[in-house]
């Protein structure tokens, strides 16, 4: 089946530390990959996406590269800020007859402390 597995949280980092949140996927077909971010009390917002192998998505200092050979889409940021504290969801989408079907990971909570 289709699924997304991301690293267990919560993750606590000091400001300016390096961030990696691992994400691997299983999919039948050729998925697009996404990272969504959920700030406290809000809905999910798209952070970045990649639509084919070797593509790199980037936004707000975050990056993730679509690795087909390892079926991974790890999220990285070189220097986190307190404002990056949120829950991060990895997701994939596959094209179906009725449109794209989305599958979400369980989310990883990140807390950045000053």
Where do contacts with other proteins occur on this chain (CB under 8 A)?
4, 30, 32, 34, 36, 41-46, 49, 51-52, 89, 93, 95, 98-100, 102, 104-107
- Residue 17 or 22: the one with the smaller Cβ distance to other proteins is 22
CA–CA separation, 4 and 2 (whole Å): 7
Task: In angstroms, give the least distance from the CB of 104 to other proteins.
Answer: 4
For other proteins, which is the closer residue by CB, 4 or 80?
4
The residue among 17 and 44 lying less far from other proteins, judged by its C-beta, is: 44
Rounded to the nearest whole angstrom, what is the least distance from the CB of residue 33 to other proteins in the complex? 10
Question: For tokens 């994939």, what's the residue?
Answer: 92
Report, in Å, the least distance between residue 102 CB and other proteins: 7
Rounded Cα–Cα distance for residues 102 and 114 (Å): 35
């Amino acid at each position: 089946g289709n699924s997304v597995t991301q690293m267990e949280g919560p993750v606590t980092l000091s400001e300016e530390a390096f961030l990696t949140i691992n994400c691997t996927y299983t999919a039948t077909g050729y998925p697009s990959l996404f990272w969504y971010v959920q700030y406290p009390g809000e809905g999910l917002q798209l952070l970045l996406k990649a639509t084919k192998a070797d593509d790199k998505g980037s936004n707000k200092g975050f990056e993730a590269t679509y690795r087909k050979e390892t079926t991974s889409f790890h999220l990285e940021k070189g220097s986190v800020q307190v404002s990056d504290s949120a829950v991060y969801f990895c997701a994939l989408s596959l094209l179906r007859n009725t449109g794209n079907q989305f599958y979400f990971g369980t989310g990883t909570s990140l807390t950045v402390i000053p």
